[in-house]
Amino acid sequence: MEHFVEFEDVCKYYQTGSVKIAAADHLNFYVDKGEFCIIVGPSGAGKTTLLNILGGMDNCDEGNVWLDGRNVSRFSARELTTYRRYDVGFVFQFYNLVQNLTALENVELPLIYRKTEKKKRHTLAVSALEMVGLSERMNHRPFELSGGQQQRVAIARAIATEPPLILADEPTGNLDAGSSDEIMRILSELHNSGKTVVIITHDNSIAAMADKRIEISDGRII
């Protein structure tokens, strides 16, 4: 069976002076369509490198990365831009919201990049904010929102384009326990709706929620 996500012998190297460091060291794993996959490991293990390669924000130096039968690691720069716009919704640890835009305007941004018609763009953004429970806060700017609310805006932004793959980089890393539980509930609901969700975390309690758990250390799956 063809897997939805597959890493084949993927390597990523960084040069520090005369030392060559493998941030990704011959990674082999797969995630099937609709799975909830959590990647765990300590800081510096290579988790974010893995996610950035899968999200098309970084290139691997060796190996192949497949998504839904397409070899992402062979994409041109233009193809990677299209891939990031249409295939992947990314949730960052530090939200990455534009501070002078409202929640609604932040969620509309990726739809603007896709040249989505204004009326449809508004409808999709409102729907995404309703899904994360922020319909009454959509006209507030980030500094008027709590950390948990800002992360919910970030999730709404990631899902407004209706991508098949959701990637989340330490989505609860800066949140209190209550907000963390709410974010994980939303991500679980996205998974239950049929999305493929891949999360990286150092929190082993979150890993218990996964269909698949991958542990990484020093750039290797252990």
Backbone torsions φ then ψ of 11, nearest 5 degrees: -130, 145
Q: What does the block give as tokens for 95?
A: 């939200």
Give the residue with greater pLDDT, 64 vs 211. Answer: 64
Q: What pLDDT was estimated at residue 79?
A: 95
pLDDT at 130: 93
Whole-number Å distance between alpha carbons of 46 and 119: 41
* 34-48, 73-87, 204-218, range with the lowest pLDDT: 204-218
Q: What pTM does this model have?
A: 0.90
Q: Is the pLDDT of residue 1 over 70?
A: no
**Amino acid letter for position 74:** R
What does the mean pLDDT of the chain come to? 91
- Bridge-based pairing of strands 70-71 and 62-67 is antiparallel
Q: Give the pLDDT score at 66.
A: 96
Distance CA 181, CA 158 (A): 19
**Percent over 90 (pLDDT), the chain:** 68
For residues 133-140, give the mean pLDDT: 93
Question: Average pLDDT, stretch 195-222?
Answer: 87
The Cα 121–Cα 126 span in angstroms is: 9
**The pLDDT of residue 11 is above 90:** yes
How far apart, in whole angstroms, are the C-alpha atoms of residue 201 and residue 171? 8
Closest CA to 170 of 64, 59, 90: 90
**What whole-number distance in Å separates Cα of residue 54 and Cα of residue 214?**
15
Place of tokens 């959701």: 166
pLDDT exceeds 90 at position 207? no
**Which of 6-15, 64-73, 142-151, 168-177 is predicted least confidently?**
168-177
